[in-house]
Structure 1
Amino acid sequence: MEIGISTFVETTPDPQTGELITHAQRLREVVEEIVLADQVGLDVFGVGEHHRQDYAASAPAILLAAAAPQTKHIRLTSAVTVLSSDDPVRVFQQFAMLDGISDGRAEIMAGRGSFIESFPLFGYSLNDYEELFDEKLELLLKLRESERVSWEGRHRPAIDNLGVYPRPVQDPLPVWIGSGGTPKSVVRAGILGLPLVLAIIGGRPAQFAPLVEIYKKAAAQSGHDPSKLQVASHSHGFVAETTEKAVEQFFPSTQYVMNVLGRERGWGPYTRASFDAARSPEGALYVGDPETVAQKIIALRKNVGVTRFMLHVPLGYE
């Protein structure tokens, strides 16, 4: 089983002091974090794409490439690339370059995006939310299959037998599908035979087991070997020397961020009771001392069947 970290490169204010670090400082910090993660033996580091004031990474490939020459083993992935509002050709080229710089350690995690700021920014309508992803994923997969590509769709100019360069070291360049946990998205990944990343950030992780079964069934029906497919989990959490210290450090920023998002999305207030329920053995928040968090990851592996666990830390201010 692979263990890794993901970040959205947050620049959330400290809920106690109001201190706010700059985007530039946070970007430099993440490069240092990736280097450290490589040194301590983690398997993968993921950087998410956002286009809003409280997140600093709008182009994950650039940040990952800054760390690539300073690392040796760790795999470098987006988490996610908002493919629906991007150009698949540029996405492929950027990650092919990252693959070359890292000597074959790049991955793309493609998703539709739960944050929608990129759609108006790049001139796309949310009315085309589903169709944009399906069409652009089709093109991305064509780009990794062959050097020269012919393709035609509705939301991007056609390509007529053109070469796309550079080519990646890995053949094919890994493409994972990021899913918020809908049957449609896991079926899509299964039909295509692509590895799946589940955002397990609420509820009970064990409830995602049926989705993994649906995914594997769709893969088998499409001629893929389910035993060879990887399933990852992306979950929030924080590890400290003791559980008490982890809770003390992580709750204030978690509450702050969840309430900011809650006001935007119409959720109820995030309370200490919400936090404590989520960090219970059955919850989706991985907060505590190393043993506590390790036991929850082991349970996730046993109950859901994940082959990669990515701890999203921290949710808020660092």
Structure 2
Amino acid sequence: MQLGIYTFGDVVQGADAATTLRHVLERVRLAEQVGLDYVGIGEHHRPEFAITSPATVVAAALAQTERIHVGSAVTVLSTEDPVRVYQQFATMDALSGGRAELLAGRGSFIESYPLFGADLHDYAELFEEKLGLLLALDDAGAVGERLTWEGRFRPPLFDALVLPQPDDVPGRGRRLNLGIATGGNPDSSVRAAQAGLPVNYAIIGGWPTHFAPLADLYRREFCPRAGVVGEAATPSVTLSGMGYVARDARAALEDFFPYWHSSMRTIATERGFALPNRVTYEATAAPAGAYAIGNPEQVAEKIVRTHAAVGHTRQIFQMDVGGVPHAQQLAAIELLGTEVKPLVDAELGAVGPLASGEGRE
């Protein structure tokens, strides 16, 4: 089980975007120091978030680390140029020795559509076409070929040589480390599987065990990409959602709640959802719920139990939702790496009811 964190650069009250960005990089460095495996950098175009250009922040984070993988979480591909995205991540992958990851998705907000001249009515078609082009670029780059392509939403390519072509990384060849993010749409699971790509399920609430059928569907439909061998040619499931670790379980719940509540209230008000409350918060943070909030033992137990149900191999947590103060985030990251991860590793490597899958919900 790989563990990590992801962030949209939630701005702490009283701070500015520049300070927040510097704090994000400090958290990335700490994540590597405490043994975590991955940091995801999100994209939003709203005043409460500091990260609008994930590739820029990913590049900065990779330059300040040596081992940890850093990727977008997500790149809103619908409003990007796949050619430029391919070039950015191929460049970062080469500079970092294969540690850059590109997670493509539609995104959970729509501000990027008018900002970059995209029509929201083309929501589904934009993603389908741009993902198709990105995969075509990845296929061409893997064998060093030129590409001819034509679609609706960008100018055609005629015998185009798109550079740089990725270095040869053991296990995945000359391909990007590319995955697809979804909130749980079955079609997205099939799309990722048939493209031979990792899938990331964003679990915003409810019960993570509800994603087990989607993960099973993804595995049944999985088709390895040409020229890819080893672990990179097998299904890969990541779960992402909210999490927070503190030494004391009750303190973890109390510390995280006001920031969660503020963020969820803003979204609920905008979208006409039911307003969040303490009851739903604590229910979702309970042992069967989606939020991994508690002391190290409780968070580790939830990861292992969820693994028994879903069979995922990476779990990442958003710990800064609503602008959790930077010092609290650093403390939570340290506990995730130094205490939660060893507990998870020990449990999943042992023979027992959770590791064997007994009690799958």
TM-score range, shorter chain: over 0.9
In structure 2, the partner of 1:167 is 165
- Structure 1 position 9 matched with structure 2 position 15: no
**SS of equivalent residue, structure 2 residue 222:** helix
In structure 2, the partner of 1:33 is 27
Letter in 2 for 1:260: T
Q: How many angstroms apart in 1 are the aligned matches of 2:262 and 2:249?
A: 20
Letter in 1 for 2:276: Y
- Greater shift, 213-222 or 277-286, is seen at 213-222
- Structure 1 position 211 matched with structure 2 position 214: yes
Report the Cα offset of residue 208 of structure 1.
0.6
In structure 1, the partner of 2:181 is 178
Normalised TM-score (structure 2): 0.83
Report the Cα offset of residue 184 of structure 1.
1.1
Kept in 2: contact 1:12–1:257 (CA 8 A):
no
- Structure 1 position 193 matched with structure 2 position 187: no
In structure 2, the partner of 1:155 is 153
Q: How many angstroms apart in 2 are the aligned matches of 1:132 and 1:293?
A: 38
In structure 1, the partner of 2:102 is 108
Q: How many angstroms apart in 2 are the aligned matches of 1:191 and 1:69?
A: 33
Residues 12 and 266 of structure 1, relative CA distance in 2, 3 Å threshold: farther
Kept in 1: contact 2:195–2:224 (CA 8 A):
no
Residues 155 and 241 of structure 1, relative CA distance in 2, 3 Å threshold: same
- Structure 1 position 266 matched with structure 2 position 269: no
Residues 62 and 90 of structure 1, relative CA distance in 2, 3 Å threshold: same
Structure 2: where are the runs of 5+ without partners?
326-361
- Structure 1 position 142 matched with structure 2 position 136: yes
Q: What do the CA deviations read for 1:20-39 (whole angstroms, capped 9, x no partner)? A: 21000000111111111111
Kept in 1: contact 2:182–2:200 (CA 8 A):
yes
How many correspondences in the alignment?
A: 312
Correspondence for 2:15 among 10, 17, 21: 21
Kept in 1: contact 2:62–2:100 (CA 8 A):
no
In structure 2, the partner of 1:83 is 77
Q: What do the CA deviations read for 1:139-198 (whole angstroms, capped 9, x no partner)? A: 111112224221111111001111111223342111110000011111111111111000
Report the Cα offset of residue 69 of structure 1.
2.2
In structure 1, the partner of 2:111 is 117
Q: What do the CA deviations read for 1:88-116 (whole angstroms, capped 9, x no partner)? A: 01111111121122121001000011111
Q: How many angstroms apart in 1 are the aligned matches of 2:117 and 2:36?
A: 38
**SS of equivalent residue, structure 2 residue 253:** helix
Correspondence for 1:58 among 32, 35, 52: 52
Q: How many angstroms apart in 2 are the aligned matches of 1:167 and 1:241?
A: 46
Q: How many angstroms apart in 1 are the aligned matches of 2:223 and 2:26?
A: 41
Structure 1: where are the runs of 5+ without partners?
14-19
In structure 2, the partner of 1:286 is 292
Q: How many angstroms apart in 1 are the aligned matches of 2:294 and 2:309?
A: 20
Q: How many angstroms apart in 2 are the aligned matches of 1:289 and 1:99?
A: 35
Q: How many angstroms apart in 1 are the aligned matches of 2:85 and 2:140?
A: 15
Q: How many angstroms apart in 1 are the aligned matches of 2:121 and 2:77?
A: 16
In structure 2, the partner of 1:17 is none
- Report runs of 4+ in structure 1 exceeding 3 Å deviation: 220-227
Q: How many angstroms apart in 2 are the aligned matches of 1:283 and 1:37?
A: 25
Kept in 2: contact 1:104–1:168 (CA 8 A):
no
* Pairwise CA RMSD: 1.8
Residues 221 and 34 of structure 1, relative CA distance in 2, 3 Å threshold: closer
Q: How many angstroms apart in 2 are the aligned matches of 1:89 and 1:109?
A: 15
Q: Determine what percentage of the aligned residue pairs are the same residue.
A: 46
**SS of equivalent residue, structure 1 residue 315:** coil
